[in-house]
Each structure stands twice: as C-alpha cells, then as structure tokens.
Amino acid sequence: PERQLKEGAIVSRFAPSPTGRVHMGNLFASFVPEVFARQTDGVFILRIEDTDAKRAIENGIELILDDLKNYNYKIDENPIDGGNYGPYIQTERKEIYDAFAKYLVSIGRAYPCFCSEEDLTNMRSEQEAKKERIGYYGKYAKCRNLTYEEVKAHLDNGDKYVIRLRSQGDFNKKIIFKDLIKGTIELPENDLDQVIIKSDGIPPYAFAHVVDDHLMRVTHVTRDDSYISSVPYHMELWEAFNFKKPKFAHLLPLCIKDGETIRKISKRKDPEAAVSFYHERGIPKEAIKLYFATLLNSNFEEWYLQNQDKSYRDFTFTFNKMSKSGPLFDLDKLLNISRNYISRLTKDEVYDDLLTWSNTYDKDFYDLIIKYKENTKNILNIERQQKKPRKDYSSYSDIKDQVFYMYDE
Ligand code: GLU
C-alpha cells in the first residue's frame, strides 16, 4: 500500500550488503538518508542486500544494525525489528522477485535465456575481434528470438536458464535524468538484455532493488555514485513495470588526502576509516555526527556557529547544498569540532561520558575516577561553563594525560 505520510515526507533507505561492521564511509552514507527521513517526518529503512552470497558474513546484519543504533540513527524498519513493508532481507524476498519477473515475461519484456558459459565466452571473443561493444544485446542476444516451442523444448529437457530483460533501449539515444546532487545527467540508453533472475533463482542487485524500492514506497534513493552509470538500466526496469520512479541522489564517497592525491577513503589502507579508531580515542559520537553535518551541507557550519546550543537535527538540510566533489575527510577538523563539543558539556556530562569510555578502554583510569568521583568532577569543571570555556580536550583519551597529576595516586 501507499504510505500514509504527510506531503513532502521522504522515505529513504540504507541498503548495504551484510559484509561486516560499518566503516566511516557507510556511516556517512547512512547518515544522509536518515537525516532526510527524520527532518521530513518520513521513514528510514535498513534493507539488507545479500543476493551476492559470497560477500555475506555471519552476524553481518546484527553488526550493521548495532553500529547504526549506537550512533542513535533512528531506523523505522529493519530486518530485526521488522516493519510493514518487509521482509527487509533480499534473500527472503525470492517469491516476490519471481512474481515480478514472471510478470515481465508475461508481457513480453523478459525471456528465458539458455546460453551456456561457453556461448557467452564465444560471443565476447567475437565482439572483441570485431571491436564491438561487449554484452548481450541486439543481434548477439540469441535467445531473445526463441520460439515458444524452442523454449518449451529446452525447459522439458531440464536445461539451465536465466531470465533476461528484453531491452527496448537504443544505445545511440540518450536518456536524461535529474540527480538531486549532480544535477542533469545524460547517459546512453541501456540496450543490454541484462539478467534479472540468475540460474539459481536469485536476482542480481539491480532487479531486486527496483522491485524493493517500489514495494517499500521509497521516495529517495541515496547511494554511492558508482551506481550512476547503471541508472539507464534501472530506468528501463522502472518503465517496464510502469512504476513511479524515485528521486536519485548519488553520493560522492568520503575522500582522504594521500600525499598529493585525493582518493576514496579505504577500509584497507586508512586506519581512520574504521569506526573503532574513534571509539578507542573517545571521540564523542555526537561530534562525529556534527562533522558529518558539515560535510553534508556547506552552510551547516555557519548556522551551527550561531546555534551552538542546538542539535544538527534542528538544521534544515537540502540536497542542493551537497558538495559536487567528494567530501574530504579531515581528521583535524573533526578533532576541532570534538574539542568545541566537549567544551560545551557540563561537568556531569563529561564525567559520565568519560566513565563510559574508560570502562572499555582504560580500566585503571576508570577505577580512579570512580574512586574520586567528586574530585574528578571538580577537575573537569576547571574553566568550564564560562563564556570562553577551555578547549583542550579533543577526545576522552586526551583527558587523563592532562589531569593525572592532580590525583594522589
Ligand atoms: N547494496 C548496495 C551496496 O552495498 C547499495 C545499493 C543501493 O543503495 O541501491 O553498495
């Protein structure tokens, strides 16, 4: 059913593969749709895209959900707490995809393809030799013209098959669409007869997400900009079903300066890509989100300077104030935001946060501040709650070094 939401409400989703703990890149990528859903009284969905079984890890879903909840992202519908538009795990939606694929077959927009690996390799070699575009299209799409009898004979024979879209696109024509961040985009139409159901009965991501975004009544697709070149194909699917298309916002990945070059932040190469890097140092989660807010909208920082007592939730974010080049992740800037954030907390708030942090990361210090609770609070109160509070703690791990000499032991 349509969702009964007020005018302008955004239904957004974060749709990761269950490949493990979130890293800074996906923490930011999920911050964006969450913020837009919240500020419009919409709905934020966590959907798990596990049709590529090779990438899934055990507990992958719990880990992702835990990480997002830990940052106080409010997730209205997700695989564990449920919701009315589920299941929220793609491999549990197989019957749904079957029904939608079957519908496309019934209207002549999809067909079974019995080509073997060898047929496809031969096709590719021929295309390479003739310097033609690689892919299953036009005259190369052998199975698109099989007769009913031929198809039946293959099926009766128990031959393996996939289901392919019967594309009506023309590669020499362009489609034009609007991306909320990048503006108007022009790309060649899709003319590939892409696989919509694999031989194991599972759809690839592209088909699954079109069906899901439609049924979950997603209004805004925010995702990595590496998907932008696939939009013409997705558009063709939306049109084949006659679904109302969502709006797109392709997010630029968080980037990092590496010597002279700027590149995408990498889980493998950059320690600061791991969320644990910040937890160990005791950088408050709220400071990280404030930093994300500055990356999300260029005018946030100025607003925040005037409204330091407010939360980022009080700011009205817009897609058109998002950077058109990859936001540059700057640790010094984050530490600076964190320093300001900690300076504005009360002594009780800092004490409580310090307790939580040290309980996990510095047991000796934890014992000490439990034993000298009032003293610690007094120490933490030095030059706090005044017009120009001290700003020398950028994280909870900074505090011990600066205060330990004030204790007797
Ligand atoms: N499952 C995709 C990924 O992990 C997300 C694609 C989407 O959001 O549409 O990158």
| 201-217: pLDDT as tens digits | 999 999 999 999 999 99
Task: Name the catalytic one among 267, 285, 333, 391.
Answer: 267
pLDDT at 139: 94
Span 222-236, average pLDDT: 96
**Nearest residue (CA) to ligand 1, atom 10:** 16
pLDDT at 56: 67
- Give CA–CA dist 76/74, Å, rounded: 6
**Nearest residue (CA) to ligand 1, atom 2:** 16
- Kindly give the number of the ligand 1 atom that is closest to the alpha carbon of 226: 10
Give pLDDT tens digits for 4-57.
999 999 999 999 998 888 899 989 999 999 999 999 999 999 999 999 877 667
- Give CA–CA dist 31/292, Å, rounded: 8
The SS3 call for residue 124 is helix
Signed CA dihedral, 184, 185, 186, 189: sign only: negative
Say what percent of the chain tops pLDDT 70.
99
Of the two residues 21 and 129, the one the predictor is more confident about is: 129
- Kindly give the number of the ligand 1 atom that is closest to the alpha carbon of 209: 9
DSSP-assigned letter for residue 323: -
pLDDT at 272: 87
Average pLDDT over all residues of the chain: 93
Contact 190, 232 (CB under 8 A): yes
CA distances from residue 389 to 30, 163, 288, 340, 392 in whole angstroms, order as listed: 33, 65, 21, 9, 9
- Give CA–CA dist 329/295, Å, rounded: 8
pLDDT at 57: 72
pLDDT band for position 161 (cuts 50, 70, 90) = very high
- Give CA–CA dist 333/318, Å, rounded: 22
* Angle (deg, nearest 10), helices 231-241 and 205-215: 50
Cβ–ligand 1 distance for 234 under 6 Å, the answer no
Cβ–ligand 1 distance for 26 under 6 Å, the answer no
- Give CA–CA dist 30/24, Å, rounded: 10
**Nearest residue (CA) to ligand 1, atom 4:** 16
Q: Is the pLDDT of residue 236 over 70?
A: yes
Contact 223, 18 (CB under 8 A): no
Ligand 1 centre to CA of 128 (Å) is 31
Instruction: Give first-to-last CA distance, the chain, whole Å.
Output: 65
By the 10 Å C-beta count (0-12 exposed, 13-18 middle, 19+ buried), 285 is classed as: middle
Neighbours of 252 (CB within 10 A): 17
Span 278-301, average pLDDT: 94
pTM summary value: 0.93
pLDDT at 389: 86
Ligand 1 centre to CA of 304 (Å) is 31
- Kindly give the number of the ligand 1 atom that is closest to the alpha carbon of 213: 9
267 assigned to active site = yes
Q: How far out from the chain centre does Cα 162 lie?
A: 29
Cβ–ligand 1 distance for 16 under 6 Å, the answer yes
Ligand 1 centre to CA of 16 (Å) is 5
Ligand 1 centre to CA of 32 (Å) is 14
**Which has the closest alpha carbon to 296: 321, 264, 273?**
321
**Which has the closest alpha carbon to 117: 154, 153, 162, 149?**
162
pLDDT at 365: 93
- Give CA–CA dist 352/358, Å, rounded: 10
